[in-house]
Structure 1
């Protein structure tokens, strides 16, 4: 490991630790007018409970990679403290919480980050009123999305910068909703092509998980990301695809205890992920294998997963899928390596080495 990357990883750990404290304090302030809330919390039990569940899921864990990305994006142009990064980090993580809550509603997922999903928490509280549980979960996700914008507009940033930064989660949120729509459409295609899968990844996750933090960090540091938009998008796209392919790999070959959720969620829901598409292609001339796959697709029985895992290994998909993720990761690293001519070397080293980490992580 070179010195620049080692320094960047130490900074990343510092960013993560500091953010956890700052994020908890943000939620404390929202619930307590005396702690500096932008406005008093509304009366009633339901609003308070929605905020509690948003807080609980937000603070329950996660890699906080988006937080690190925006700090390192700011570090591309300056080594000085940058006002607004805390608010930007809170914004992007709240937007992520919004996505998780709604994703778990759509997927009917009981577990998230090692605990109950927001939807299932409400289902447990209202076992005889499923419509109310569903409505409350949707509204909790909406609350997180609007808070993601408000935190940028109610801070101490100059008005023009606050507006420019607030536009980022608004655009990223709209893209993510379109990505969710594409995600649902994808499963109406028995065997979607790779281009369509890339589009789902681009809209559903890449734009808010990678591109938005890059833009927010540069904006907070006083830099205009617009002249570099094409290369930032290209980098984000390559990282996003590599990351999603690896997520699909983990969904079949990962450790559920480390992941914090059961394996095979995509397969058992019948989703046409990168992995499922590869399985469909691999079993095109394998009648027995195709029957095994079709028996598992959309089958909630967890016992149907092991034969598919064996099938994937028989066809070498554990290796080929990982190799495909690495190919996109190498492309992202090569793009970031060209940034050294104009941006600070320590942060450039971080973005150069990040893609390789994204396809070797275990959760």
Structure 2
């Protein structure tokens, strides 16, 4: 796609149209996956029903919560050095994760009949959401872009990751430390699995957090990844399949309010929780390779930030200023400043996420 295209010359679709296409596409995909697995789409242990229930409840709850967030003056603080088009978003309420994340967790626990694995993953998801809420609240309280310190945020993420890994040690078979590979191969990691598990939990949550910078981007790409992951693990982990479907549906319900132009942002409350959920499911189901593929967008977004910071430091001159590799990091902001509209970026990232989902499912068959 030509980075110089104007929004009128490029993607001719509205925010609600794009999200509608995504919702229909994921719903049809869920029905297809259920049909291929000989599951009734109307049974609790399916992809379709949990997705539908969570989507409807999340969207409905949002109509009550979003006005409350507006009344509480939880308006987002917009970076002045960011894309100028974002300045008009100042004042849009944030912390939207406080309604769609709990909706998904509750729906998943109820529909799975409170299985232990779903309870554990839900607890980790809500814990990371709590970290994000604390950060969001500090940003609003201080009326700046600075919430809790990066060191404190990292310490909390590592702490909850350690607790989750401790639960894994006592509640999961020893085979969990053998990393599953295609064609029936596995890589025995032994004790090295545990630092890797902690890293995955922290890295995935931060990666989805970095991806949350454009209306509908993080919620949509995570929803696609969740449905693909749910379809992949369904044969061996029906409870976690329900969790993935419920969280996918809740993301779709949230998009009813977060699609361009957004009425609410998820904030760190939502983005940290989503990454934690993906990582926790990946670890529990021994599907880290699949998680890595599905997280391609989040991985590239993170790399763009790392590359930008590293290049700036390496090229720093006597005046203390360095050069920028990108116009702005993460990558989605660079594309915006290169002439792409928000909808162009979101649509292309949705398509890439869907392709990664297909690749993941294809590899998972071997």
- Give the TM-score normalised by the residue count of structure 2: 0.35
Q: Normalized per residue, which structure has more helix?
A: 1
Greater RCO, CA 8 A, separation 6+: 2
Which structure would you say has the larger Rg? Answer: 1
